[in-house]
Amino acid sequence: MVDVYLHDACKSHQTPPGHPEQIARIEAVENGLATVPHTRIIAPLGDVQDLLRCHPQSHVDRIRRAIPSRGVVALDGDTFLSPGSWDAALHAVGGATAAVDAAMASGRRAFVATRPPGHHAERETPMGFCLFGTAAIAAKHALDHHGLSRVAVLDFDVHHGNGTQDLLWDEPRCRFISSHQMPLYPGTGRPDERGAHGQITNLPLPGGSGTAAMRAAWQPALHALTTWRPEFIIVSAGFDAHRADPLAGLTWTEDDFAWITRAICDLARECCQGRVVSVLEGGYDLDALADSVAAHIEELGRTAA
């Protein structure tokens, strides 16, 4: 079975009424999980030292000091903090690093069903609903704590993972691949954004595109990774490329999320003993999120090594 990391603290991170990154997203994920086999694990509290693998102490301190004693405060027009936000973000990071540890020990695959998301958080800038770069932190944990030399971070959220790109820009031990609608927030993710070592691949997709464009982009990108042979794969699993999502304009379906999950797991089975840890990013239509998560988990379990 797939390990699913959750924590009730992620329901304590509050955003203003009507904000798309809402507590109900976790409830929708739980609805999707109810339809597929999985093992639930309580996500531990993350270690601040793991945050420092990607963010400077000044950024961590800034977030911690900004946590309000009550109500909701804005860091920017999209990104908010409430009294429960610090613990929520630390359990998201703790779930991701614990999932990496478990995969290294036993080969178990995992989905980290936490919030806030992380792939827009840059080195010193929280943005796009994100505080800390969870996927990048998990990748650096795999590299530094477990002594790996090649980790791939694959991001199929509809928005470009600008934060992950920023955090891994100078990291030659990581390959980062992101598909995303363009033009769209945050405005980054051009093909010529290659990283300091040419290790970043951006796959911009036009609005209105669906299955054919997605597969045409991802198939050669995944095939190219087989020669690099990653030792671990981290997935930024955003489900806002779904045709029902209100924040974007791609036309993916649950079958597309199943296909890309299966393709990633095939790569993992060939290159890294099946080791895949997936972390929740976007997805803002609640019914589509539930159905897409179910398809994702089913494929993570079906193709387990």
Give the residue extent of every domain in the chain: 3-302
Contact yes or no for 177/139 (Cβ under 8 A): no
**Phi-psi group of 228: left, alpha or beta (phi > 0 → left; psi -120 to 50 → alpha; rest → beta):** alpha
Is 159 known to be catalytic? no
171 SS3 class: coil
Cis omega before residue 116 (within 30°)?
yes
Contact 156, 245 (CB under 8 A): no
CA atoms within 13 A on the CB side of 30: 14
pLDDT band at 1 (very low <50, low <70, confident <90, very high): confident
% of the chain at pLDDT higher than 70: 99
Can you tell me whether residue 195 is helix, strand or coil?
Answer: coil
Q: Check residue 304 and give its pLDDT.
A: 54
Q: Is the dihedral of CA 293, 273, 268, 299 positive or negative?
A: negative
Torsions phi, psi for 3 (to 5 deg) = -80, 130
Residue 303: per-residue pLDDT: 58
Cβ contact 99:113 at 8 Å: no
The 10s digit of each residue's pLDDT in 75-125 is 999 999 999 999 999 999 999 999 999 999 999 999 999 999 999 999 999
Per-residue confidence (pLDDT) for residue 302, from 0 to 100: 86
Q: Mean of the pLDDT values across residues 159-168?
A: 98
Mean pLDDT score of the chain: 97
Exposure letters 91-119 (e unless 16+ CB within 10 A, then b):
bbbbbbbbbbbbbbeeebbbbbbbbbbbb
Fold of 3-302: Arginase; Chain A (3.40.800)
d(CA 115, CA 12): 10
For residue 216, which of 165, 163, 179, 271 has the smallest C-alpha distance?
Answer: 179
What is the value of pTM for the model shown? 0.97
Q: For residue 45, count other CB atoms closer than 10 A to its CB.
A: 15
Contacts of 112 (CB under 8 A, 6+ apart): 4, 5, 43, 92, 95, 96, 99, 134, 277, 278, 279, 280
Q: pLDDT tens across 5-29, in order? A: 999 999 999 999 999 999 999 999 9
Encoded tokens for 218 = 């991802």
pLDDT of 221 strictly over 80: yes
Residue 61: exposure state from Cβ atoms within 10 A (0-12, 13-18, ≥19): exposed
Catalytic member of 7, 38, 120, 160: 120
Look at residues 181, 191, 155 and name the one whose alpha carbon lies nearest to residue 250. 181
Number of residues in the chain: 305
Per-residue pLDDT, averaged over 218-233, amounts to 97
Q: How much of the chain exceeds pLDDT 90, in percent? A: 98
Q: In terms of DSSP H, where are the helices of the chain? A: 24-33, 48-51, 57-66, 85-106, 134-146, 162-168, 211-228, 254-271, 286-302
Q: Using alpha carbons, select from 174, 144, 147 the residue that is nearest to residue 53.
A: 144
Residue located via tokens 């010193």:
124
Return the pLDDT at 305.
46
